[in-house]
Amino acid sequence: MSLQEAQNVAHVERTFQWFNQQIQKEGKVKKVSNAEVAQYFAEDARMVTNGKLICAGVDEHTTHFVEFQEKFASMHSTPFKQIEAKGDKVWLQYSINIEHRDGRVEDVQIMGYMQLKEGKIAHFEELVVHA
């Protein structure tokens, strides 16, 4: 793995650490801000889930994360089952454990890639399966 690929993997790992702090059962978490999202995502970042564009740009990503905060009691990404870098893409497979506000628990399986540009996530293409 090249130095740039290792840096890309490290950025994705930091992004997920930040993500895991945003929706926690204990305590009140402040709303996600554009400034926070812009630390991890490029200004024109796009997220595509199961072939559908979900977010484009920092504003829409911020709205997406705030919706998670409002919708779920807790949401936590588990350690990566697999993470590999090739060029400007980081391929990953992981789970997200979700506790809904009504107490239901859900395990979501995700695989896909993040493409980085200038040290930030510019494109996230994911396949999501609700188990």
What is the full per-residue pLDDT of the chain (131 aa) written as tens digits?
899 999 999 999 999 998 888 777 555 567 889 999 999 999 999 999 999 999 999 999 999 988 888 888 888 899 999 999 999 999 999 999 999 889 999 999 999 999 999 999 999 999 999 97
C-alpha distance from residue 53 to each of 41, 47, 56, 94 (Å)? 16, 6, 8, 20
Give the start-to-end residue ranges of the domains of the chain. 3-130
> Which strand (E) or helix (H) includes residue 3?
helix 3-22
What are the strands, taking DSSP E only, across 1-131?
41-49, 52-56, 72-77, 82-86, 89-100, 105-117, 120-130
Taking the complete model, does pTM exceed 0.95, yes or no? no
CATH fold of 3-130: Nuclear Transport Factor 2; Chain: A, (3.10.450)
Going by DSSP bridges, is the β-strand pair 105-117/82-86 parallel, antiparallel, or unpaired? unpaired
